[in-house]
Amino acid sequence: MTKKTQQMQNKLTTKEINQLDDLLLELYPEVDASYEGEEHVFSVSMLDGYLTAVLLAPFPIEEESWVEGLWQEDSPPVFQTQAQKKILLDAIKKHYLYIESIVNGDLVEFEPLTYYAADNKQLVPQIDLWIDGFARGVDYFEKYWRFNKQIDEVIDLVLAFDDNHDYDNLSLDQRNKVLPKLGDYIIQLHALNKSHPNI
């Protein structure tokens, strides 16, 4: 089996994305609006950003740790059945392996998993949830990063991407033109990490 074939086998189908979205959103059904703790990863777009940050970290993050980072602070979800838990974790691990293959390929095929919303009868890509997930991955695993001025600057560009480009007010064509710049930042961040090998 070629790397490309294995990579495509790990890519979630639209049906799997929708199922995973539902499972993530329903993790904490009883939490009300007064909850002030740390939010969990509740969409596949957030998961994609979160796992991208996890896999870009210069020091490897164990599966147990990054899975724990998906949940609300000090509050792992209670699953109704073991089958439900297995379906969720298997889908998450599958997407992890897919992103891992993209990172190992120096992000040549990187593309953030974004949602689309209707705007003037057009479906336009949304990036805010992906950025929220990425921010969570960097913040939660800060100790796994080796920060310096250059890396800090690129991370800031990623986190402020929607604001810097006034993304919410762009047309579909403008969004499609500017979105690859986010990929450029991620590639740049990966290259900076690789240029400072672990000791």
Domain extent listing, the chain: 3-194
Query: Which residues of the chain fall below pLDDT 50?
Result: 198-199
DSSP line for 5-55: HHHHHTSPPHHHHHHHHHHHHTSSTT--TT--SPPP--SHHHHHHHHHHHH
Report pLDDT digits (tens) over 119-147: 766 677 889 999 999 999 999 999 999 99
**CA pair distance 109, 101, nearest whole angstrom:** 10
Find where tokens 């403008």 sit. Answer: 174
